[in-house]
Amino acid sequence: MRQMLSALATASLLALCLPSAAQTGASPTFEKIKSSGKVVLGVRESSAPMAYALGSMQKYVGYHVELCEKVLDKIAPQAQREYMALTAQNTLPLVQNGTVDIGCGPTTNNLARQKQVAFAVTTYVSEVRAAVRADSAVQSFKDLDNQVLAASAGTTAVQLLRKYSRDHGSKFDVQLGKDHFESFLMLESGRAQAFVLDANLLAGVIANSKNPTGYKIVGEVLGAEPIALLFRHGDAPFKKAVDGAITELMRSGEMAKLYEKWFMQPIPPKNMPLNLPLSPMLKALFEHPNDKPLEAYQDKDPS
């Protein structure tokens, strides 16, 4: 009986705190949160500094995890939070079918994915490059011709490497890891000559490795990619609420502070800074938020 009363009390609080269907139009995500009393956040275990696990207690932290939490503080403050670890491969289907209410990992917004899920306004712009050993002579992807390259399954780095191969006549032996830890292990163990991924994620993996000074990020930028929170497709009221909360954080200066915390200051577990300053492109997006997909970033200014 006590549990039943507690559940009813929680549901009543949520009904007061969440936007009503009458105010917003039918929102399957808000209705699910109301009925269950909880919100499910999709996170990652090895995508520092965006979203990653700390220690045996599986506490999830990172730039996008904290952003998700700040957004939910505004749009669903009374909902209990449940964290679900996702991979690049299962993020879209679990968001699409409503298992996950909001995806907080580093997911690229592109036109193909927009057919399955919806994206919030862009909160990071990544540049795909390569990590190599510090003593490597590699400076360009041309230097990696006929070499073994590690990449994480389900990431856009795989498609970008294929495009580079077609455009430049290069041949790469691309080996896929199930996550960034496994991909980096290929480089660390010498089974791959480079690990290709978003530069910010490469910096995070390197900073938390056994030997942070043993690796460097090199090569031309294969592509600039807009990264955003994601949620189920077709839920306009939920997107409006999330975008509104993020835009408020941008206008207040809180987003810039959040960026500073995760990209310029020491981060756990090794308290190493990534030293990746806020780029002019991302600064412009904080000033003029939009949810343009990857295709808008190709050969033109997306702002």
Q: What are the start-end ranges of the H helices in the chain?
A: 2-17, 21-24, 28-36, 63-75, 91-96, 111-114, 156-168, 180-188, 199-207, 236-252, 254-263, 280-287
Give the mean model confidence (pLDDT) for residues 145-159.
94
Residues 212, 206 contacting (CB under 8 angstroms):
yes
* Domains of the chain with CATH codes: 21-125+225-297 (3.40.190.10), 126-223 (3.40.190.10)
pTM of the model: 0.79
* Banded model confidence at residue 220, pLDDT cuts 50, 70, 90: very high
Hey, how many other C-beta atoms are within 10 angstroms of the C-beta on 136? 17
The proportion of the chain whose per-residue pLDDT surpasses 90, expressed as a percent, equals 80
Does 207 have pLDDT greater than 50?
yes
Question: Which residues are CB-neighbours of 195 under 8 A, at least 6 positions away?
Answer: 130, 131, 132, 149, 150, 151, 183, 184, 186, 187, 202, 205
pLDDT at 15 over 90: no
Token pair listed for 179? 């996550």
Provide the 10 A C-beta neighbour count for residue 275. Answer: 10
Q: What is the mean pLDDT of the chain?
A: 90
| Residue 4 token pair | 């039943």
Query: What's the rounded mean pLDDT across residues 32-49?
Result: 96
CB 86 within 8 A of CB 195: no
Share of the chain above pLDDT 70, in %: 90
Mean pLDDT of 243-256: 98
At 178 the pLDDT is 92
Length of the chain: 303
Which residues does residue 85 pair with via DSSP β-bridges, in sequence order?
Answer: 43
Render pLDDT for 93-109 as a digit per residue (tens, 0 to 9): 999 999 999 999 999 99
